[in-house]
Amino acid sequence: MSLSYSKRAQLVECPRDAMQGWKTFIPTQTKITYLNNLLKVGFDTLDCGSFVSAKAIPQMADTKDVIGQLSLEGTKTKLLVIVANVRGAEEATQFDQISYLGFPLSISPTFQKRNTNSSIEESLVTLDKIQNLCLKSRKELVLYLSMGFGNPYGDEYTEETVLHWADEMVKKNIKIISLADTIGIATPDQINFALATLIAAYPQAEFGVHLHSTAINWREKLEAAVEAGCKRFDGALKGIGGCPMATNDLIGNMNTEWMIRYFKEMNIMSTIDEEALANSLKLAEQIFI
């Protein structure tokens, strides 16, 4: 029996995050094949690429070529791409296949500069322009609050910091906000507190999590988010990935296989194509070696 939308978990598969820090270039056709297999699995959203500086993230330089070769026929999965500036957003909005534009706003000034080469204040101006582009092109903006649970740079952070910035985003009428554990340092208590507080305070918005974790702490983090009422979860098959602009050591993404298993246990997993999932896992093992 299918689960209602209100109860089931929404899975955002993030091969873009898995690929972006990979040191050897993944051939364009390999990316296309992998992404087309992922589109058959039944994920709600596929974070499939980014329109950012090829110099900064060489692995994503072929996103334009990849997008044009993705087959959306017969899939419920919607495409999301990451943009860091207005130029990238303008490029992304030219593709009818893309439903969501994701923009990373760091609550750490140091990381915002490292990630987008701009200050938080400058990024807020950029964000407004990107939001206008989304409205004009009928795309939806997904706002990532990067370093949402602390940072390694010594920038000031308290639990109130993330609540403040989430409030600012809701005031801008942004409907989807994802709290990003960019370097995998979030504690279950932090995750639960932030999500429970925000979900209760802003029912008009959808709050998700982009968690990075290890085999040791993934379940506690995931449970904390679910117990807080979160329904939107980012992950990547094999738990590969991380932000190359954050630290020298990438902390893996939340492993999608673990999440699927957990959501099945909790009876909040929507239907997925097990054969397509198995095929995608085989491809991932060949790509990420």
pLDDT at 251 (0 to 100): 64
pLDDT at 32 (0 to 100): 98
Report the distance separating Cα 101 and Cα 109, nearest Å. Answer: 22
pLDDT at 3 (0 to 100): 42
pLDDT at 246 (0 to 100): 47
Q: In 3D, which of 81, 25, 80, 35 has the Cα closest to residue 57?
A: 25
**Is the overall model pTM greater than 0.95, yes or no?**
no
pLDDT at 68 (0 to 100): 94
pLDDT at 17 (0 to 100): 93
Say if residues 25 and 57 touch (Cβ distance below 8 Å): no
pLDDT at 46 (0 to 100): 98
Write out pLDDT tens, residues 131-158.
999 999 999 999 999 999 999 999 999 9
Report the distance separating Cα 80 and Cα 64, nearest Å. Answer: 13
**What does R_g of the chain's alpha carbons equal in angstroms?**
17
Task: Collect the ranges in the chain with pLDDT lower than 50.
Answer: 1-5, 246-248
pLDDT at 289 (0 to 100): 84
The token pair at 253 is: 């993404």
CB burial string 83-109: b at 16+ within 10 A, e below: bbbbebbeebbebeebbbbbbbbbbbb
pLDDT at 249 (0 to 100): 52
pLDDT at 2 (0 to 100): 39
Strand partners, 51: 83
Q: Can you give the chain as a three-state secondary structure string?
A: CCCCCCCCCEEEECHHHHHHCCCCCCCHHHHHHHHHHHCCCCCCEEEEEEECCCCCCHHHCCHHHHHCCCCCCCCCCEEEEEECCHHHHHHHCCCCCEEEEEEEEECCHHHHHHHHCCCHHHHHHHHHHHHHHHHHHCCEEEEEEECECECCCCCCCCHHHHHHHHHHHHHCCCCEEEEECCCCCCCHHHHHHHHHHHHHHCCCCEEEEECECCCCCHHHHHHHHHHCCCCEEEEEHHHCCCCCCCCCCCCCECEHHHHHHHHHHCCCCCCCCHHHHHHHHHHHHHHCC
CATH code, residues 10-287: 3.20.20.70
pLDDT at 21 (0 to 100): 87
pLDDT at 243 (0 to 100): 57
